[in-house]
């Protein structure tokens, strides 16, 4: 956990759940996996979470709950944007529902914070929030209430029944409008999915849109291919500018505040992506991001009035960000849908260092986070 972070779009991180499994191409160079298997390999929260391989440490599917980190948001009084589980996936199949209940109970108990959640397991996230449980008395609300009760009963050390009962009431209030019919969730929880290319976008975004959430967002980092959000459609609507996604008639159920977030003239609920974050890859083995992939997402968001956040170029950047004009640098050229790599002498480029789609590996810090000279810091309102 960290109060203060180098992640540009958040204020603090809470690593309550650590450990994961490589799932898709975006996971291959995971910094958390590398860290867990090197510098933190003997730390109690990371020990045994990775296995050695010829390519380096690899997540082995072991997951661990860090109780101290889980409770940290309760200790922070100043409002923060908090990114949960940067070193794991809260919806990993090995994570018990009880751990997830505890995480969301803490989020419900801290309405002064904004909690940012990312997953690559969008199907389980959707099921967690929408699948009815077996018993009338064993609902998602009751399980989160019980988790909050147990957390606050002993939070100060001694048993405090009054505080525990207040916690149950707080969770009830937080979940009052979490309903699959209206598709509205915790007002202070932003649920998102990581999508690195079009294939993963097509797989994960529909489940995100079907999950009750106040804010739905995408982390397109590392961006490894073009993503056309306007091509992900349902009945003529797109995920950035929908009329209605799927069967989402909520007329007569609740009012527009805080029930249906956006109501069309016919009383139907519109579901959309509320925020898009884009970034390139950094660190050992970093793969380039084509400038046009980032530009396309920027332009799609601008056309639909969706906030766009450009996080970083990563290690690779177009020539406009290469300030020096001499020396050797690793370059990459996009040709026939793949990257061709070669070391280039900047002094021999004859002033053509800005030619695209060539990109150069100069490191994250030097590459910066300007896209066509503009800093994009869009956030949900």
Which stretches within 131-180 are classed as H helix? 140-153, 161-174
Point out the residues of the chain with pLDDT beneath 70.
1-2, 134-138, 176-185, 233-237, 242-270, 348-356
Which residues pair with residue 374 across a beta bridge? 371
The per-residue pLDDT for 177 is: 55
pLDDT tens per residue across span 275-334: 999 999 999 999 999 999 999 999 999 999 999 999 999 999 999 999 887 889 999 999
Q: What is the pLDDT of residue 234?
A: 59
Cα 278 from Cα 375, distance rounded (Å) = 12
Q: Which helix (H) or strand (E) holds 68?
A: helix 67-75
pLDDT at position 258? 32
pLDDT the model gives residue 180 = 47
Please report the pLDDT score of residue 87 as a whole number.
98
**Structure-token match 């639909």, residue found:** 304
User: What is the DSSP code string of 174-202?
Assistant: HTTT-BTTTTB--TTEEEEEE--SHHHHH
Q: Are strands 215-220 and 275-279 parallel, antiparallel or unpaired?
A: parallel
Structure tokens at 324: 């020096």
Q: Token match 């975006």: residue? A: 26
Q: What are phi and psi of 181, to 5 degrees?
A: -70, -40
Neighbours of 178 (CB within 10 A): 23
Res 176: pLDDT: 64
């Amino acid at each position: 956990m960290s109060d203060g972070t180098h992640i540009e779009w958040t204020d603090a991180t809470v690593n309550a759940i650590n450990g994961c499994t490589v799932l898709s191409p975006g996971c291959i160079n995971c910094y958390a996996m590398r860290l867990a298997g090197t510098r933190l390999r003997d730390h109690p929260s990371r020990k045994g979470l990775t296995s050695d391989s010829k390519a380096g440490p690899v997540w082995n599917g072991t997951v661990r709950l860090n109780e101290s980190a889980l409770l940290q948001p309760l200790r922070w009084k100043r409002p923060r944007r908090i990114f949960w589980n940067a070193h794991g996936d809260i919806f990993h199949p090995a994570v018990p529902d009880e751990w997830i209940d505890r995480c969301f109970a803490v989020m419900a108990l801290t309405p002064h914070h904004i909690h940012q959640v990312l997953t690559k397991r969008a199907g389980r996230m959707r099921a967690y929030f929408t699948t009815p449980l077996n018993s009338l008395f064993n609902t998602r609300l009751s399980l989160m209430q019980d988790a909050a009760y147990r957390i606050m009963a002993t939070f100060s050390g001694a048993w405090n029944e009054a505080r525990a009962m207040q916690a149950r009431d707080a969770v009830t209030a937080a979940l009052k409008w979490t309903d699959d019919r209206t598709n509205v969730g915790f007002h202070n929880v932003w649920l998102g999915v990581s999508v690195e290319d079009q294939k993963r976008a097509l797989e994960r975004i529909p489940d995100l849109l079907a999950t009750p959430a106040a804010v739905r967002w995408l982390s397109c980092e590392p961006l490894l291919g073009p993503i056309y959000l306007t091509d992900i459609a349902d009945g003529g609507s797109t995920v950035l500018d929908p009329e209605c996604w799927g069967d989402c008639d909520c007329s007569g159920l609740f009012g527009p505040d805080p029930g249906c977030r956006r109501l069309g003239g016919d009383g139907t609920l519109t579901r959309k992506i509320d925020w898009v974050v884009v970034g390139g890859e950094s660190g050992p083995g970093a793969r380039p991001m084509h400038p046009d992939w980032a530009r396309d997402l920027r332009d799609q968001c601008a056309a639909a009035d969706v906030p766009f956040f450009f996080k970083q170029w990563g290690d690779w950047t177009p020539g406009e960000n290469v300030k020096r004009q001499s020396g050797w640098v690793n370059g990459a050229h996009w040709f026939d849908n793949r990257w061709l790599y070669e070391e280039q002498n900047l002094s021999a480029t004859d002033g053509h260092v800005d030619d695209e789609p060539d990109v150069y590996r100069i490191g994250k810090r030097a590459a910066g986070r300007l896209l066509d000279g503009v800093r994009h810091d869009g956030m949900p309102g």
